[in-house]
Amino acid sequence: MKAILMARPEKGGIEFTEKAEVPKPGFREVLIRVKATGMCGTDRHIYDWDPSIRDMVKPPMIFGHEFCGEIAELGKETNGSLKVGDFVSCEMHEVCGRCYQCRTGQGHLCPNTAIYGVHKPGCFAEYVKVPASNVIHLPKNLPIKVGAFLDALGNAVHTAMATEIPGRNIAITGYGPIGAMAAAVVEFCGAGSITIADVNPLALERAESWKKSLPSRRKPESIRIVSMNANDRETSMRRTVEETNGGVDAVLEMSGAEKAINDGLRFTRNGGEVVLLGLPSGRGINLENYKQDIIFRGIKLHGIIGRKMYDTWYRMLALLGAGLQIEHVVTTESSFADCEEAFHLFSQGKTLKVVMYPNGK
Amino acid sequence: MKAILMARPEKGGIEFTEKAEVPKPGFREVLIRVKATGMCGTDRHIYDWDPSIRDMVKPPMIFGHEFCGEIAELGKETNGSLKVGDFVSCEMHEVCGRCYQCRTGQGHLCPNTAIYGVHKPGCFAEYVKVPASNVIHLPKNLPIKVGAFLDALGNAVHTAMATEIPGRNIAITGYGPIGAMAAAVVEFCGAGSITIADVNPLALERAESWKKSLPSRRKPESIRIVSMNANDRETSMRRTVEETNGGVDAVLEMSGAEKAINDGLRFTRNGGEVVLLGLPSGRGINLENYKQDIIFRGIKLHGIIGRKMYDTWYRMLALLGAGLQIEHVVTTESSFADCEEAFHLFSQGKTLKVVMYPNGK
Amino acid sequence: MKAILMARPEKGGIEFTEKAEVPKPGFREVLIRVKATGMCGTDRHIYDWDPSIRDMVKPPMIFGHEFCGEIAELGKETNGSLKVGDFVSCEMHEVCGRCYQCRTGQGHLCPNTAIYGVHKPGCFAEYVKVPASNVIHLPKNLPIKVGAFLDALGNAVHTAMATEIPGRNIAITGYGPIGAMAAAVVEFCGAGSITIADVNPLALERAESWKKSLPSRRKPESIRIVSMNANDRETSMRRTVEETNGGVDAVLEMSGAEKAINDGLRFTRNGGEVVLLGLPSGRGINLENYKQDIIFRGIKLHGIIGRKMYDTWYRMLALLGAGLQIEHVVTTESSFADCEEAFHLFSQGKTLKVVMYPNGK
Amino acid sequence: MKAILMARPEKGGIEFTEKAEVPKPGFREVLIRVKATGMCGTDRHIYDWDPSIRDMVKPPMIFGHEFCGEIAELGKETNGSLKVGDFVSCEMHEVCGRCYQCRTGQGHLCPNTAIYGVHKPGCFAEYVKVPASNVIHLPKNLPIKVGAFLDALGNAVHTAMATEIPGRNIAITGYGPIGAMAAAVVEFCGAGSITIADVNPLALERAESWKKSLPSRRKPESIRIVSMNANDRETSMRRTVEETNGGVDAVLEMSGAEKAINDGLRFTRNGGEVVLLGLPSGRGINLENYKQDIIFRGIKLHGIIGRKMYDTWYRMLALLGAGLQIEHVVTTESSFADCEEAFHLFSQGKTLKVVMYPNGK
């Protein structure tokens, strides 16, 4: 079958093949014929052979962990509700089921997690084998272009749902693919004001163009797009702080940049929260104003990883079923055969979300 | 000044006058020139001289407690942020500030509450005197037609915010004025599916017409309008129960009808919640399936009164500032002089929300 | 092996046998040698052959669902952390793992639940076969007399943990076995004041004697034991209402009596909660003051069933590990052979918790 | 009257006087005759004339903000429930009542807070003038030695109540006065296991001696006292991490030390929380393992300041009324006249809590 391998332990060491072996589903496993896949930041780290990823990935291996497809074959003893032909996606975090976290409804925090597409073969292939327990049914009318990246959309939904959105003032730091999804999610969920901050002019442009596309009922003055490098009242966060209650109710931190985390704290009202999804390039972060911002101003921080298993999936599908528009975050579509070019674009930050299809769109 | 009095302790005992005395604001009080007022279910109870209201209202008295207007005069020692000419509304529940509830951020549950327009003179008048602490600034661009009934919209927002809305399946039982507002609120806040149930064909028609008015992004199949008297799958709640997780995540109960409360429990999924705002005509309610629905299925009920002071006001204004459409719930507009006709219509259930203006619209 | 059967579909139709067959653990099942068992209210319903239980239990069947013991044999593919000889108990609610509730950390509310000892053979036997996933390790130093009824203690812990206990005023309506456990739990967890209400003089006496047994640091005036039939200030709930904030923060309802539920609502402060575990004898409950208590006073009700899987188990074991004293709720100990007498006592309400051992204590 | 002044803007610039003027209570103010006072870390910063405090305190000024006493005189229009002779304490944070935080039940986070004893004259005096709204009634049987430091105990209660305590594994980093109070609070509130970590041998000794004083029902093995400098399994946090679920449910951070914050994160289980009260000496904190601990392990941090107005006070008094033992944290008692010696001891870390009486104990 066709597939994309991380073939060699080096930057850019990927390889398109037509001769990968179709996996065989085992006990409580399911084989899925892949229709569309999404490219994730983690895939870029693999492509770039970042030090952070080297301990986890063992080349040569098929990678990729965002996709949708149809069930092609059921292994033994699979969940009775799955049938060949079902349109599905899959939570690719495989958890142990025995630890404290798994036994208390916090499986997404299982310390024994293995990720398909990172620790085990993934979905950049015509067929992928996954645990039956992790398969998610999709509605028939969901475009495969969207089904391709539900894993990433789930990150955005998980982050947004970690705080209260309706009628609250929200800021998003970082308008990359997941930041863009988060913006769409909080807009759809009735955020009061939304402030989107980035340093990259291209990102700011994309945010402006999304804002213009919104249905007329959303008042334009309730969305501000600002540069994190600006200082004047109109184009910086300053006006947001003035016009909200001394700061926003919650920041969704999507960049991983130390400056964004520190600025985000300053933009948050006393008693507000900063929800953290963005991954820094290094290990640590210096919180410059810990005493003032965290203690004296009573602010909460919480880190988000993955998707709640499976609460996030239910709510994400409900939002899509209600009409959440999200296709605009896909700015590149490609076939597996053209993966090198797609990865190159993505690696250089020239595109938001990339969707790849086994045989072209 | 012009005003509407509950003049006599009898059904229909209201009276329009042009000779009411303009009140004088005292210590920490503010005088407001009224621009528009809303008619509330409580006003109907006063108009109908319901037994439930007789201990509270002492005719002759100006009643009414939903309004917006401009500050006309400040008493002594008022809140420093209030100025003559400010466009404002007011929380008409006056609380004691000393009880446990007031001292722990639950002022809306103060056992010593007095309501302007019920226990004290109200806003169906050209001028109304209120406590400075309760005044709420409104944005300049808010239509007075909407500013007129923020108290009632606050009930809907308070009810909706008592549960989580985004990406969840919500049912609303009772599509009267507040039910209609709640529907608009949960739609705006990203509810997954919305099911609206009523027994009244006129109410169901109004719900259908609201549904048609929504921006195209909201998928029509995510909103179902059903008759509580129907039994077939298509026009009853049955299909909602099948298509959700064995029932909705939350019911917002807006009718006060015993049947609606019991049916609402049945429509709720295991572990879901029923948020209760509707007032029954009598004192009690028989929960038919307490054992099965509340205990075995682990359902939560919670009663809602008033608006959170003042969290609900902040979030309501943020929703309006973001674009929440709500004017459609007003189906009658009137001048104070024509109040008899307006009350007659409202008392007979022939209109949703009524807005009255001191001198016509 | 020795076992107690519900042998005949009739009141008192139980039977002690020495010839039951030892079950064989199958796929992902575990065989446990039973050391001690607890008698639950459900077992009494079976013994009494209550109409409420007839659809679920198919005589002749070994019943019982509270126990502790040692793992005797592992079936295939059991959880890797289980070993022969381990000291364990077991959550006897077997859930489907595929429904919304199971997939979102609310397995205790799974609509497809089967209960070992009710729908399937139970633990009143020398050996019981259970699902490996449901087995709970116990600390070696836990007395088997306590290990015998962790299922029931879990009900009490689940109910108490559904609200906040430390520094809050708590009332418990119904001092039967689980009410007695709940009292011990909330005392241990730092409840501010505790009021225990019952109608039964024997229950009130037991509560008084528990109170006397507490370590001296608990101030006696912080625990009141009252009769639900009393009206005078000193022996009724009236004084509690006066001395708290117009009512307690939370009632734990353990009786299922309509009067207790209605009185409990009245004893609760504005904005408080009533957590409901007690099962009424019939289906429904008439809430006499729904309008006043639930709506106007903003009170929450929530129904509790089973134990959170497995959060409740972790916290219960942590409480026992910290020193929670609970043995006093056992007022009868018996061998399986003497089960008829034990059931007779229990059925007549003459004892709190009954613990039975396969071969005597 | 007798009083202690911060007399000169320099280290140790305090002065005992017998000639301070008795303040006169004004509008909505109350004069309190002081019976006992507590010395707080902030008072030490004043005594040491720390740069962090210089902008706030204007010498010469009476300082001190922890005390209890009797109402001596009422100003005009005070809260109707206050009477001369009442035994009271006072929340010394005076908030504006008009900001978002004040209007939404988060007054302790008011950005316009002024602190009596820091920004305004305080309680190290025979008489202190405070806002009537902030006065708290105390039970008659509360020892004045405890009433002296309820402000500080409130910090500990606020921190502990920010997470769930009963049946959970808790760690406390820093066993200074407030850490010692927090330990007593979580023990009383049914914490599962408690681990107390400090670097100071004297602090560890004090913690051991507290542990020995506990009532016998608390199992000694459920409390561990460890050195943050140790590495071996028995005397370090390592064993706690092994014996809990890969880490504790919550850390209460009482030290402000960067190492403690970073270690605390490592000691916390996936999905746990770190509640932060300790003030660092500088402005910022470097989170060494932000990516791993906050993001990948999904941990929450939240900063705590002051006491919830007035929820914390209600719960603290309920805990004391139930029997919470706390006097042991007072290791020095002094008269105002001997304040220099007391401050000297405290400033050198040689004592836990210091209580000072106007005229000796």
DSSP-assigned letters across all residues of B118-132: TTB--SSBSEEEEEG
Q: Which of C45, C65, C108, C158 is catalytic?
A: C45
pLDDT exceeds cutoff 80 at A79: no
Residues of B in contact with A157 (CB under 8 A): 167
Of A79, A81, A100, the CB nearest to C314: A100
Distance from CA of D262 to the nearest CA of A (A): 10
Where does the pLDDT of residue C79 fall: very low under 50, low under 70, confident under 90, or very high at 90 and above? confident
Q: Nearest-CA residue of chain D relative to C194? A: D322
**Most D CBs within 10 Å, among A93, A255, A287, to test the D interface:** A287
D332 exposure class (CB count in 10 Å sphere: 0-12, 13-18, 19+): middle
Q: Do A323 and B245 touch (CB under 8 A)?
A: no
Q: Would you write out chain B's pLDDT as a tens digit for each of its 361 residues? A: 999 999 999 999 999 999 999 999 999 999 999 999 999 999 999 999 999 899 999 999 999 999 999 999 999 999 789 999 999 999 999 999 999 999 999 999 999 999 999 999 999 999 999 999 999 999 999 999 999 999 999 999 999 999 999 999 999 999 999 999 999 999 999 999 999 999 999 999 999 999 999 998 999 999 999 999 998 998 999 999 999 999 999 999 999 999 999 999 999 999 999 999 999 999 999 999 999 999 999 999 999 999 999 999 999 999 999 999 999 999 999 999 999 999 999 999 999 999 999 998 7
Residue D234's contacts (CB-CB under 8 Å, 6 or more residues apart) are none
- Which residues pair with residue A274 across a beta bridge? A251, A301
Tokens of D337: 């006249």
pTM here is 0.98
Report pLDDT digits (tens) over A255-276. 999 999 999 999 999 999 999 9
Distance from CA of B201 to the nearest CA of A (A): 25
**Most C CBs within 10 Å, among D161, D185, D217, D221, to test the C interface:** D217
Report pLDDT digits (tens) over C191-245. 999 999 999 999 999 999 999 999 889 999 999 999 999 989 989 999 999 999 9
Residues of A in contact with D274 (CB under 8 A): none
Of A191, A215, A315, the CB nearest to B215: A215
DSSP C206-219: HHHHHHHTS-TTS-
Query: Average per-residue pLDDT in chain D?
Result: 97
Query: Average per-residue pLDDT in chain C?
Result: 97
Give the integer Cα–Cα distance in Å for B256 and C291.
Answer: 9
Of D157, D190, D323, the CB nearest to C322: D190
Cβ pairs A/B, distance under 8 A: 111
Q: Nearest-CA residue of chain B relative to A324? A: B217
pLDDT exceeds cutoff 90 at C89: yes
Distance from CA of C192 to the nearest CA of D (A): 5
Q: Is D95 helix (H, G, I), strand (E, B) or coil?
A: coil
Q: Do C103 and A79 touch (CB under 8 A)?
A: no
Give the integer Cα–Cα distance in Å for D2 and D20.
Answer: 6
Per-residue confidence (pLDDT) for residue A80, from 0 to 100: 83
Phi first, then psi: give them for residue D150, nearest 5 degrees. Answer: -65, -30
Q: Is C322 helix (H, G, I), strand (E, B) or coil?
A: helix
Per-residue confidence (pLDDT) for residue B16, from 0 to 100: 98
Distance from CA of B164 to the nearest CA of C (A): 15
Distance from CA of C75 to the nearest CA of D (A): 27
In the complex, which subunits touch D with 3 or more CB pairs below 8 angstroms?
A, B, C
Report pLDDT digits (tens) over A83-122. 999 999 999 999 999 999 999 999 999 999 999 999 999 9
Of A164, A167, A324, the CB nearest to B316: A167
Yes or no: say if D35 and D58 are a contact pair by the CB < 8 Å rule: no
Q: Do D79 and B100 touch (CB under 8 A)?
A: no
Tokens of B17: 């006058």
Q: Do B319 and A190 touch (CB under 8 A)?
A: yes
Q: Which of A37, A42, A113, A159 is catalytic?
A: A42
Instruction: Identify whether A42 is a catalytic site residue.
Output: yes
Give the integer Cα–Cα distance in Å for B337 and C67.
Answer: 76
Q: Do B104 and D80 touch (CB under 8 A)?
A: no
Instruction: Identify whether C45 is a catalytic site residue.
Output: yes
Distance from CA of A308 to the nearest CA of C (A): 8
Give the integer Cα–Cα distance in Å for C165 and C174.
Answer: 18
Per-residue confidence (pLDDT) for residue D122, from 0 to 100: 98
Angle between helix B177-188 and B201-212 (nearest 10):
30
Per-residue confidence (pLDDT) for residue A292, from 0 to 100: 96
Closest by alpha carbon to A283, among D28, D295, B179? D295
Of D100, D284, D304, the CB nearest to A287: D284
Give the integer Cα–Cα distance in Å for C99 and C97.
Answer: 6
Residue D263's contacts (CB-CB under 8 Å, 6 or more residues apart) are D173, D197, D228, D237
Q: Do D314 and B100 touch (CB under 8 A)?
A: yes
Residues of D in contact with B308 (CB under 8 A): 104
Of D191, D245, D322, the CB nearest to C218: D322
Q: Positive or negative, the Cα torsion across C263, C269, C271, C277? A: negative
Q: Do C168 and D318 touch (CB under 8 A)?
A: yes
**Most D CBs within 10 Å, among C137, C141, C161, C188, to test the D interface:** C188
Give the integer Cα–Cα distance in Å for D200 and D177.
Answer: 13
The single-letter code of the amino acid at A149 is F
Of B99, B106, B287, the CB nearest to C284: B287
Q: How far is CA A206 from CA A175, A182, A329, A330, D238, in A?
A: 8, 14, 9, 11, 48
Q: Which CATH superfamily is domain D3-153+307-357 in?
A: Medium-chain alcohol dehydrogenases, catalytic domain (3.90.180.10)
Say if domain D163-303 classifies as CATH 3.30.930.10: no
Distance from CA of A109 to the nearest CA of D (A): 6
Q: Do B300 and C302 touch (CB under 8 A)?
A: yes
| DSSP code of residue B319 | H
**Most A CBs within 10 Å, among C27, C30, C98, C103, to test the A interface:** C103
Distance from CA of C312 to the nearest CA of A (A): 9
Residues of C in contact with B241 (CB under 8 A): none
Tokens of A104: 């208390």
Share of chain A above pLDDT 70, in %: 100
Q: Nearest-CA residue of chain D relative to C244? A: D318
Residues of C in contact with A312 (CB under 8 A): none
Q: Nearest-CA residue of chain D relative to C319? A: D167
Q: Which of B17, B37, B45, B331 is catalytic?
A: B45
Distance from CA of B218 to the nearest CA of A (A): 5
**Cβ contacts of C287-292, under 8 Å, gap ≥ 24:** C287/B284, C287/B285, C287/B286, C287/B287, C287/C261, C287/C262, C288/B283, C288/B284, C288/C262, C289/B283, C289/B284, C289/C262, C289/C265, C290/B280, C290/B283, C290/B284, C290/B285, C291/B279, C291/B280, C291/B282, C291/B283, C291/B284, C292/B283
Intervals of chain D under pLDDT 70: none
Residues of D in contact with B98 (CB under 8 A): 79-81
Per-residue confidence (pLDDT) for residue D80, from 0 to 100: 83
Closest by alpha carbon to C244, among B157, D194, A5, B101? B101
Q: Do D219 and C321 touch (CB under 8 A)?
A: yes
Report pLDDT digits (tens) over A174-211. 999 999 999 999 999 999 999 999 999 999 999 999 99
Residues of D in contact with C246 (CB under 8 A): none
pLDDT exceeds cutoff 90 at C360: no
Per-residue confidence (pLDDT) for residue B80, from 0 to 100: 83
Of C101, C300, C305, the CB nearest to B296: C305
Q: Nearest-CA residue of chain C relative to A78? A: C98
Q: Nearest-CA residue of chain B relative to A193? A: B322
- The CATH 3.90.180.10 domain(s) of chain A lie at 3-153+307-357
Chain D residues whose C-beta sits inside 8 Å of any chain A C-beta: 99-101, 106, 108-111, 245-246, 269-271, 276-277, 279-280, 282-305
Per-residue confidence (pLDDT) for residue C32, from 0 to 100: 98
- Residue D209: enclosing H or E segment and its boundaries? helix D201-212
Give the integer Cα–Cα distance in Å for A215 and A207.
Answer: 15
Q: Is A147 helix (H, G, I), strand (E, B) or coil?
A: helix
- The CATH 3.40.50.720 domain(s) of chain C lie at 163-303
Q: Which of A17, A37, A45, A65 is catalytic?
A: A45
